[in-house]
Structure 1
Amino acid sequence: MSPRIELGRFLDTEESCELSVDKLMTGRTAIIAKTGYGKSWTLRRIAEQLLDLGYPLGIIDPEGEHVSLAEAYDMLIISPDGDVDLAKEGSPERLAKAAVRGVSFVLDLSKYMTKPEVAAGLVADVIKALMDQKGDGFLVMVDEARELAPERGARSQLGKHASTTETWITALATRGRKRGVGLVFTTQRPQLVSKTVLSQAENKIVLRVEYNADLAAIGKFLGLDKAVIRRIRRLNQGEAYIEGPFVDRAGFIRVGEVKTAHLGSTPQVKPRPPPSLSEVVSYITADLGRLVAAEEAAAEAEKPEAPPAEPREKARVEEKVRKISVGLESAFTMPSERLTSPELRDLLEERNKARKMLELLEESREEMREEVYEFLREEYERTLNEFEAKIAPYRREAKISELVLEAALKDRELKLRFLDGQARGFLYGIRTWRVRRRLEREIRELEERLARVREILSSLE
């Protein structure tokens, strides 16, 4: 039986909604949602579930939103300030070879967007190299396909170079299955995504969508019926309609929490423990002559066993615990000055203005031609997305602060409970009186700090 991951729970029965890993890793999956309703969240939920099981994947990330996955998982960051800068050193072919052996990566395109021809070339080279490798299943995840595979006439940050990335993402969508390479792509504007790519998606995850043109594209190219589309307009944040070969039954779900053969047939998907990332960085950036010599020598030697998965998982858990224990010591400095800075207040004010402009545009839609409406909405959404990208690091810091403060608060409560559970007596009461007072004082302070952080988080959403 194919391994499965849990995407969330069905709204009607609260039963677990599980996805077939095989159908996901070699299939074509579309994730569609209006801004702010869970598109990137859903992609990350799937990525984390697969990484937890040891399945490799690569995220092509135009906005740099997913590099934080490397804090919890062993993933290469491809960017000028990451592990490898493929624009200056290394080889996409060697990256692809490492990837199909079990190495996951994030290609952070946000660091290359000032040179669109470089960004487009990297995407094309990486996809081509992955399709040339015939491994045991690898998943490419593209966050916001509109930027990399736009419909003819739609605008992209890559400008004229978007035709290069569109060509290779289309090739991946139409021919990747035979090569064991799957595709998951997201978009908030299905109307502006290549219809060839959109129509290839047999697996569909559709969160809230409101614009008539986008709903029409979903109905036409994904084959959803009118009753489903009517309900999609009213979905709450994090709710989605799901159907396709990768799920046992179609239906509406709530997405769960996040913490990432031969030529003619679909290859069997296999998890495999990757080599160490330091070895991979050296491998990808190595001089070609030394690399060939090393591989020839390795071929003559006995092949070493793959490193066991359990120690790696243990190390990962220990690292998480270490980070939290360090964080407890800094709980009384939270929220940081960054989270209460005038710069953040200004960003939130501008972000809220952009949201209001979108609302006003929707209210005034009947007063203008459809072409004018589409042009203005695209401009307003681009502005809003720029502010959201700038706010994202503050949001991540606030969530970490909330976690650390909750942990520190629970730590003090447990210590107080421990004292209450000890043997009673006059001398014991004298000895523990100061400790109790300190713990009670710290609990009050932590509760106040946690309330401030949650207020900040609320403003950032």
Structure 2
Amino acid sequence: MASEDAETVTLDAAGEVRIPTIELLTGRGFVTGKSGGGKSNTASVVAEELLDDGHPLMIVDTDGEYYGLKERYEVLHAGADDECDVQVGTEHADKLAELALDGGVPVILDVSAYLDDGGHDIVRATVEALFRREQEARRPFLLLVEEVHEFIPESGGLTEAGKMLVRVAKRGRKRGLGFCGISQRPANVKKDVITQCDWLCWHRLTWNNDTAVVGRVLDNQAAEAVQNLADGEAILVTDWDGTRRRVQVRRKRTFDAGSTPGLGDVDRPELKSIGEGLLGDLTEISDQKREHENRLAKLEADLESKNERIAELERELSRARDLSEMAEQFTRALTGDAVSSASQRTRSADDPTHHELGDFEATDEGADGDGTADTPTDDASTGDATSSDNTDTAATTDIAGTVDADNALDTDEGSEDPATDEAAGEPSSEAGEADPIRVADDPGGPGGSNPDPADGRSYADLLDMDVVRHEVQQAEDHSRASPTYAKGIIATLIDEGGPVSQRTLLSRVGGSSTDEVTTMATTLEAMRTVEKEHTDEGLMIGIDPDGVRELRETSLGRERTRSLADGF
């Protein structure tokens, strides 16, 4: 029971072992002992004594064994499972600190049911809120932490929760915030914290590593004695009076939820309920969190639905492009047949100009090196030649028109016969003066060579075409990335003269994320202007010369089709 003197609390049954209340509330303590030695019982006795005197405290319960205090006291049991009075998360930290310090509500922060790092997160947030609020409240208040070695271990790094607890242990006293750590393995607890404690309670320890800590902190005599202590017996060391004594701590009066289960049924006592008014604000915070999570889930579902719709539209667009490509291939096939048929019709025997055209070609084939035909010498030929009438003139005009039309087509497609160019009065195309893209049946023939980006001259030429500019504009209009990326990517590839990495593209176009560069590159790839390749150096992006040529050929095929259609 609480001491008659409100300035102290008693730990033993006889009432002889007394500790100043203010030292418990604002000092730094450490209670240790192997499992079954009595350390958690001692911590519960300290809590009972403080609660009897009306002093609130907060217990960080790692094993869910302190709810037994609710058998006698109105304590807020906050945690993650349904056994708690209220389920809390980091969003409740400020309110828990407010209830504890301003409202004087004792709190059991039960972290036994949190998954992964959830327990550490709420401990960090709540202890930080206590530390911050104590600067103004300055109310003597004890923070008791079970299994403290999990938060402030001797080896390994500290979590954010551990760093916050160390901060309280070192600086909390000035604000009125006390600290008491409980552990069954003192060897695993950060020694800087143990050696700074004002009071220490050593229950039975048997492991060499643990007794060695007793020897370093106290002495070898204490290290020997601590191995033979009975259950509940401890060596109590207090700095304020400089004493070391062997004490027997009393059994706690509340339900022992941490005792080892026996074969019989355990009768759980009726626990005191916390006032509904205290839970109102915490419940409201939980409701707000739930609404936020529901809204977030809805937004994520909407986003997923939109992404699925975008993917569906992209698939439809891809199918449409495939159909368009098939139609263009079909058009090119028909264009080839149409040209052949037109040539045959022009030279058909039923054509009244056929014989005249044959004479014209014969004359052309008989021309000498300077381009002039041999002059016939017999009188019959001379007479026939000089007596040509208007019909002959008209036929010749038609023939010339036919030849001009053929030459016009040849100019578009690239002549395969230099002699034909000379006969038509056109100079032979030189490689340096040729159109950058020459569509020909023989890609390797003179004047029909397809440029290779490796030669360093073709990128700009390949892209200096209306059809390619059109595809780039389409990419700007339809991509989800910034429209400026399309021309930026193309310009970079032209300037570099070869494939570049996506990071290089990002730095050149001035973007903030490689995702947008990759998105635009994917759109341009679908437009057949660039190509992507995964290499050991990462994703490389370059001009797609074959795709550009196909675009060029498709465009020329359309033009020829329109020209032939207009001539029918």
TM-score scaled by length of structure 2: 0.43
2:215 is aligned with 1:219:
yes
2:174 is aligned with 1:178:
yes
Q: In structure 2, do the counterparts of structure 1 residues 236 and 122 end up closer, same or farther at CA, with 3 Å as the change threshold?
A: same
Q: In structure 2, do the counterparts of structure 1 residues 126 and 246 end up closer, same or farther at CA, with 3 Å as the change threshold?
A: farther
- Report if the CA contact (8 A) 2:57-2:106 is conserved: yes
1:48 match: 48
Distance in 1 between residues matched to 2:245 and 2:15, nearest whole Å: 11
Give the SS at the match of 2:60.
strand
2:278 match: 280
2:397 match: none
- Report if the CA contact (8 A) 1:148-1:166 is conserved: yes
> 1:110 offset after TM fit, Å?
0.9
2:96 match: 95
Unaligned runs of 5+ in 2: 255-272, 289-568
1:451 match: none
Of 181-190 and 240-249, deviating more is 240-249
- The one-letter code of the counterpart of 2:87 is D
- Report if the CA contact (8 A) 1:24-1:246 is conserved: no
Give the SS at the match of 1:243.
strand
1:252 match: 246
1:423 match: none
> 1:218 offset after TM fit, Å?
2.7
Give the SS at the match of 2:112.
helix
2:133 match: 133
Give the SS at the match of 2:12.
strand
User: Can you list the C-alpha shifts for 1:73-100, whole angstroms capped at 9, x where unaligned?
Assistant: 1111111321222228x52111101101
- The one-letter code of the counterpart of 1:79 is G
- Report if the CA contact (8 A) 2:143-2:177 is conserved: yes
Distance in 1 between residues matched to 2:6 and 2:23, nearest whole Å: 9
1:21 match: 21
Distance in 2 between residues matched to 1:64 and 1:208, nearest whole Å: 23
- The one-letter code of the counterpart of 2:99 is A
- The one-letter code of the counterpart of 1:189 is R
1:236 match: 230
Give the SS at the match of 1:250.
strand
- Report if the CA contact (8 A) 2:62-2:147 is conserved: yes
> 1:214 offset after TM fit, Å?
1.0
Distance in 2 between residues matched to 1:243 and 1:70, nearest whole Å: 30
User: Can you list the C-alpha shifts for 1:337-359, whole angstroms capped at 9, x where unaligned?
Assistant: xxxxxxxxxxxxxxxxxxxxxxx
2:189 is aligned with 1:187:
no
- Report if the CA contact (8 A) 1:91-1:285 is conserved: no
- Report if the CA contact (8 A) 1:132-1:179 is conserved: no
Distance in 2 between residues matched to 1:259 and 1:2, nearest whole Å: 19
2:106 match: 104
User: How many residues matched?
Assistant: 259
1:7 match: 11
Structure with more relative contact order (C-alpha pairs < 8 Å, separation 6 or more): 1
User: Paired residue for 1:206, among 202, 209, 214?
Assistant: 202
RMSD (Å), alpha carbons: 2.4
1:143 match: 146
Distance in 2 between residues matched to 1:193 and 1:277, nearest whole Å: 37
- Report if the CA contact (8 A) 2:214-2:222 is conserved: no
User: Can you list the C-alpha shifts for 1:398-421, whole angstroms capped at 9, x where unaligned?
Assistant: xxxxxxxxxxxxxxxxxxxxxxxx
> 1:247 offset after TM fit, Å?
6.1
2:348 match: none
> 1:256 offset after TM fit, Å?
1.1
- The one-letter code of the counterpart of 1:206 is W
Distance in 2 between residues matched to 1:230 and 1:133, nearest whole Å: 43
Distance in 2 between residues matched to 1:194 and 1:228, nearest whole Å: 20
2:62 is aligned with 1:62:
yes
Q: In structure 2, do the counterparts of structure 1 residues 246 and 43 end up closer, same or farther at CA, with 3 Å as the change threshold?
A: farther
- Report if the CA contact (8 A) 1:29-1:203 is conserved: yes
Distance in 1 between residues matched to 2:119 and 2:92, nearest whole Å: 15
Q: In structure 2, do the counterparts of structure 1 residues 43 and 235 end up closer, same or farther at CA, with 3 Å as the change threshold?
A: same
More helix by share: 1
1:73 match: 73
- Report if the CA contact (8 A) 1:3-1:21 is conserved: yes
User: Can you list the C-alpha shifts for 1:165-195, whole angstroms capped at 9, x where unaligned?
Assistant: 2111111111111121111111111111122
- The one-letter code of the counterpart of 1:104 is P
> 1:25 offset after TM fit, Å?
0.4
Distance in 1 between residues matched to 2:50 and 2:119, nearest whole Å: 26
1:325 match: none
- Report if the CA contact (8 A) 2:85-2:274 is conserved: no
Unaligned runs of 5+ in 1: 154-159, 261-274, 291-461
- Report if the CA contact (8 A) 1:144-1:188 is conserved: yes
> 1:69 offset after TM fit, Å?
1.2
Q: In structure 2, do the counterparts of structure 1 residues 208 and 116 end up closer, same or farther at CA, with 3 Å as the change threshold?
A: same
Distance in 2 between residues matched to 1:39 and 1:276, nearest whole Å: 27
Q: In structure 2, do the counterparts of structure 1 residues 247 and 257 end up closer, same or farther at CA, with 3 Å as the change threshold?
A: farther
Give the SS at the match of 1:110.
coil
- The one-letter code of the counterpart of 1:218 is V
- Report if the CA contact (8 A) 1:35-1:188 is conserved: yes
- Report if the CA contact (8 A) 2:26-2:173 is conserved: yes
- The one-letter code of the counterpart of 2:143 is V
Distance in 2 between residues matched to 1:219 and 1:132, nearest whole Å: 37
Q: In structure 2, do the counterparts of structure 1 residues 27 and 75 end up closer, same or farther at CA, with 3 Å as the change threshold?
A: same
Q: In structure 2, do the counterparts of structure 1 residues 15 and 59 end up closer, same or farther at CA, with 3 Å as the change threshold?
A: closer
Distance in 2 between residues matched to 1:93 and 1:66, nearest whole Å: 22
- Report if the CA contact (8 A) 2:76-2:274 is conserved: no
- Report if the CA contact (8 A) 1:244-1:250 is conserved: yes
In percent, how many aligned pairs have the same letter? 31
- The one-letter code of the counterpart of 1:281 is L
2:39 is aligned with 1:32:
no
Distance in 2 between residues matched to 1:245 and 1:199, nearest whole Å: 11
> 1:287 offset after TM fit, Å?
5.6
Q: In structure 2, do the counterparts of structure 1 residues 247 and 83 end up closer, same or farther at CA, with 3 Å as the change threshold?
A: farther
Distance in 2 between residues matched to 1:283 and 1:77, nearest whole Å: 15
- The one-letter code of the counterpart of 1:170 is V
- Report if the CA contact (8 A) 2:31-2:43 is conserved: yes
- The one-letter code of the counterpart of 2:58 is G
Distance in 1 between residues matched to 2:244 and 2:195, nearest whole Å: 18
